[in-house]
């Protein structure tokens, strides 16, 4: 009897023993833990795509007991199985750690990549970026072993079908900008050295600007007005210096190259502070951004604004321009520029914007600015600016006031040319200094 009971117990134990399992070759093994998770875990994350008021009501008391039973069953099975095969352990680790995710693919414009005819430029850190374009450092070396650092503007071509239209548009605009920019060689214009085009992107190598812009300089002066007896504008000496340098660049564009810039503003005037005595005497101003620039040989009476260049048209039923319909920047737009819905192939708009900049350099404020763009438009159309603020700034006295009035003249026939502006008494002595400094005009 005892022997029979022993045999029966051995038989039962043999049936309860779990033999080591092997995974057949080529068979897929499911390691998902989804069946062990409670639906309440979904509710813990309010940003879950699947969470909603409806799912909260449905996942009440009915499903939680099942989940609890699943967890208890999981704990029992885990404790009962004291060992797993090496293959199972490896596959479980692979799934948990997400090793299957592929590494990010490197791009030809990543830091450390090279470009050029002989890969002579090495891409460095990012300086600025936006949309499809990015500006980065570009390192190279001369034949004599001298290291040089430039900036490179990289505009990618269409990468996906969804980006195709925008990419093509950006490439067309870049080609237009380069067609004008590559012809310009002046000490107060940002230099474009060389352009490389690949299947991936267009690389425009230009001078690296060590410093900010005139906009940054004016903002800095405004923030430190309390330490400068309330003066929001630049020191008169610096204001005169920067205004003359910008006038020199515009004179070169208008008279020597027959080019109108169309987007003259504080933000497009770079200040290179790497020149000697920059902290005391001011830096070297260089005009940049020729995306809206064009040669003056075109017939302005027949050329209209393309939707791609203007951004938008005037609202239906309204004869008033909007911010999005302005070519360039609203606060610098001239009355004539706001009155026509087409590109103007003329230099008078640049002179108007130049007057706006002089006013800002002296006062720390823009002459035409209002929280409501429509009010800004009214101020511009009426040429309504505060000459009292300019008088109070006293950055040159009557001479600078007459200069600004001549630039902000509504009648373009009576408005100063840039050459006439440079003969203002406010710039007395600057012509000789500019010649000594190597001015190329």
Domain 214-436, CATH: 1.10.510.10
How far CA 47 is from CA of 42, 51, 52, 54, 398, in Å, comes to 9, 8, 10, 15, 63
> Which DSSP string do the residues of 135-165 spell out, in sequence order?
EEEEEEE-TT--EEEEEEEEEE---SGGGHH
Residue length of the chain:
441
Question: Which residue from 155, 274, 264 is spatially nearest to 209, judged by alpha carbons?
Answer: 274
What local confidence, expressed as pLDDT, does residue 437 receive? 44
Sign of CA dihedral 359, 218, 250, 277: positive
**In the block, which residue shows the tokens 């108007």?**
352
What local confidence, expressed as pLDDT, does residue 90 receive? 45
How far CA 227 is from CA of 84, 223, 394, 400, in Å, comes to 75, 9, 18, 24
pLDDT digits (tens, 9 = 90+) for 178-231: 999 999 999 999 999 999 999 999 999 999 998 999 999 999 999 988 888 888
Q: Which of 36 and 4 is assigned the larger pLDDT?
A: 4
Token couple for 246: 């910008």
CA 256: distance to chain centroid? Answer: 31
Give me the percent of the chain exceeding a pLDDT of 70.
Answer: 64
**Banded model confidence at residue 49, pLDDT cuts 50, 70, 90:** very low
Give the residue-averaged pLDDT of 384-406. 88
Stated as kind and residue range, the H or E segment containing 215 is helix 214-223
Backbone dihedral region of 415: left (phi > 0), alpha (psi from -120 to 50 degrees) or beta?
beta
What local confidence, expressed as pLDDT, does residue 342 receive? 75
pLDDT above 60 (res 32):
no
Hey, which residues does 206 pair with through a beta bridge? 151, 192
For the purposes of burial, counting CB atoms within 10 Å of the CB of 394, is it exposed (0-12), middle (13-18) or buried (19 or more)? middle
How far is it, in rounded angstroms, from Cα 349 to Cα 429? 27
Hey, which residues does 115 pair with through a beta bridge? 121
What local confidence, expressed as pLDDT, does residue 40 receive? 37
Question: Who contacts 288 (Cβ-Cβ below 8 Å, separation ≥6)?
Answer: 189, 190, 209, 268, 269, 270
Token couple for 418: 């840039």
> Which DSSP string do the residues of 259-272 spell out, in sequence order?
EE-S---GGGEEEE
Give the residue-averaged pLDDT of 284-312. 65
pLDDT above 50 (res 5):
yes
How far CA 250 is from CA of 240, 254, 258, 262, 418, in Å, comes to 15, 6, 10, 11, 7
Token couple for 317: 């039923």
How far CA 318 is from CA of 315, 423, 434, in Å, comes to 6, 42, 48
Q: Please count the helices (runs of H) and the strands (runs of E) in the chain.
A: 17, 10
User: What is the average pLDDT value for the chain, to the nearest integer?
Assistant: 76
**In the block, which residue shows the tokens 């006038």?**
247
Between strands 147-156 and 192-197, the pairing is unpaired
Q: Which of 59-63, 395-399, 420-424 has the lowest mean pLDDT?
A: 59-63
Q: Which of 220-224, 300-304, 424-428 has the lowest mean pLDDT?
A: 300-304
Token couple for 216: 């940054």
**Banded model confidence at residue 50, pLDDT cuts 50, 70, 90:** very low
Domain boundaries, the chain: 114-206, 214-436
SS3 for 41? helix
The answer to whether residues 347 and 416 touch, using CB atoms and an 8 Å cutoff, is: no
First-to-last C-alpha distance (Å) of the chain? 122
How far CA 346 is from CA of 152, 308, 421, in Å, comes to 30, 20, 17
What local confidence, expressed as pLDDT, does residue 161 receive? 52
Q: Which of 39-48, 87-96, 193-202 has the lowest mean pLDDT?
A: 39-48
pLDDT digits (tens, 9 = 90+) for 150-159: 999 999 886 6
Token couple for 22: 């092997």
How far is it, in rounded angstroms, from Cα 178 to Cα 287? 15
114-206 placed in CATH 3.30.200.20: yes
CA 216, 111, 182 angle in degrees (round to 5)?
Answer: 60
Give me the percent of the chain exceeding a pLDDT of 90.
Answer: 50
For the purposes of burial, counting CB atoms within 10 Å of the CB of 47, is it exposed (0-12), middle (13-18) or buried (19 or more)? exposed
Full-model pTM: 0.70
Token couple for 9: 């117990």
Question: Who contacts 389 (Cβ-Cβ below 8 Å, separation ≥6)?
Answer: 363, 365
Read off φ and ψ for residue 68, nearest 5 degrees.
-65, -40
**Banded model confidence at residue 331, pLDDT cuts 50, 70, 90:** very high
The answer to whether residues 395 and 362 touch, using CB atoms and an 8 Å cutoff, is: yes
Read off φ and ψ for residue 403, nearest 5 degrees.
-65, -45
């Amino acid at each position: 009897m005892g022997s029979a009971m022993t045999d029966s117990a051995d038989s039962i134990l043999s049936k309860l023993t779990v033999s080591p399992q092997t995974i057949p070759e080529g068979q897929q093994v499911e390691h998902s833990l989804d069946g062990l998770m409670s639906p309440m875990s979904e509710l813990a994350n309010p940003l879950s795509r699947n969470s909603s008021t409806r799912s909260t009501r449905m996942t009440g008391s009915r499903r939680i007991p099942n989940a609890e039973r699943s967890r208890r069953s999981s704990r029992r099975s885990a404790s009962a199985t004291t060992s797993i095969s090496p293959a199972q352990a490896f596959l479980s680790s692979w799934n948990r750690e997400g090793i299957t995710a592929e590494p990010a693919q490197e791009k030809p414009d990543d830091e450390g990549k090279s470009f050029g005819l002989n890969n002579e430029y090495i891409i460095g850190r990012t300086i600025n970026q936006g949309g499809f374009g990015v500006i980065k450092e570009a390192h190279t070396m001369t034949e004599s072993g001298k290291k040089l650092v430039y900036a490179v503007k990289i505009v990618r071509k269409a990468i996906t079908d969804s980006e195709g239209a925008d990419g093509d548009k950006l490439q067309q605009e870049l080609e237009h900008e380069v067609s004008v920019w590559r012809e310009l060689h002046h000490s107060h214009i940002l230099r474009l050295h060389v352009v490389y085009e690949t299947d991936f992107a267009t690389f425009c190598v230009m001078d690296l600007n060590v410093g900010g812009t005139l906009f940054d300089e004016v903002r800095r002066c405004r923030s430190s007005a309390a330490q400068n007896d309330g003066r929001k504008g630049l020191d008169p000496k610096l204001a005169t210096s920067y205004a003359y340098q910008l006038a020199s660049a515009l004179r070169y564009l208008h008279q020597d190259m027959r080019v109108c810039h169309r987007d003259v503003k504080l933000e497009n005037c770079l200040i290179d502070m790497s020149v000697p005595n920059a902290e005391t005497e001011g830096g070297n101003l260089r005009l940049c951004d020729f995306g809206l620039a064009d040669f003056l040989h075109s017939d302005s009476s027949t050329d209209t604004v393309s939707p791609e260049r203007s951004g938008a048209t005037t609202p239906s039923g309204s004869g008033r321009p909007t911010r999005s319909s302005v070519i360039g920047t609203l606060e610098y737009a001239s009355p004539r520029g706001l009155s026509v819905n087409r590109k103007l192939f003329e230099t008078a708009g640049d002179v108007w914007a130049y007057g706006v900049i002089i006013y800002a350099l002296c006062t720390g404020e823009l002459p035409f600015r209002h929280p409501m763009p429509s009010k800004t438009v009214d101020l511009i159309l009426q040429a309504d600016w505060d000459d009292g603020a300019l008088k109070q700034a006293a950055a040159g006295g009557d001479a600078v006031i007459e200069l600004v009035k001549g630039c902000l003249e509504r009648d373009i026939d009576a408005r100063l040319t840039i050459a006439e502006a440079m003969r203002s008494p406010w710039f007395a002595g600057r012509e000789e200094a500019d010649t000594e400094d190597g001015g190329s005009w």
